[in-house]
Amino acid sequence: MTQWQKSTFSSGTDGSNCVELAHKDATLLLRESDDPTRILPVPATALAALLCDIQGTERRGPVIKLGR
């Protein structure tokens, strides 16, 4: 079973308007709480690169470790 985690920035009064994140192998799964059936699979490295671009920072080595 996939274990979803809600963003801490999505803690308003309406708990259904949240971004949720899970992982399966080296893929991150993204969904919005108000439509949990639509899941966007994203390679972890691609999401890490996107976040670095948004923040205006340079990626240095592995950013995300998945699995145990």
6-25 pLDDT, tens digit per residue, is: 877 766 666 667 889 998 88
Instruction: Give the model's pLDDT for residue 37.
Output: 92
What does the pLDDT look like over 24-50, one tens digit per residue? Answer: 888 999 998 888 899 999 998 888 888
Tell me: pLDDT of 51 over 80. Answer: yes
* Best CA proximity match to 33, nearest among 6, 60, 8: 6
Q: Is the dihedral of CA 66, 27, 5, 10 positive or negative?
A: positive
Cβ-Cβ contacts under 8 Å for 27 (sequence gap 6 or more): 41, 42, 43, 44
Residue 28 has a CB neighbour count (10 Å cut-off) of 20
What mean pLDDT value characterizes the chain? 80
Rounded to two decimals, what is the model's pTM? 0.66
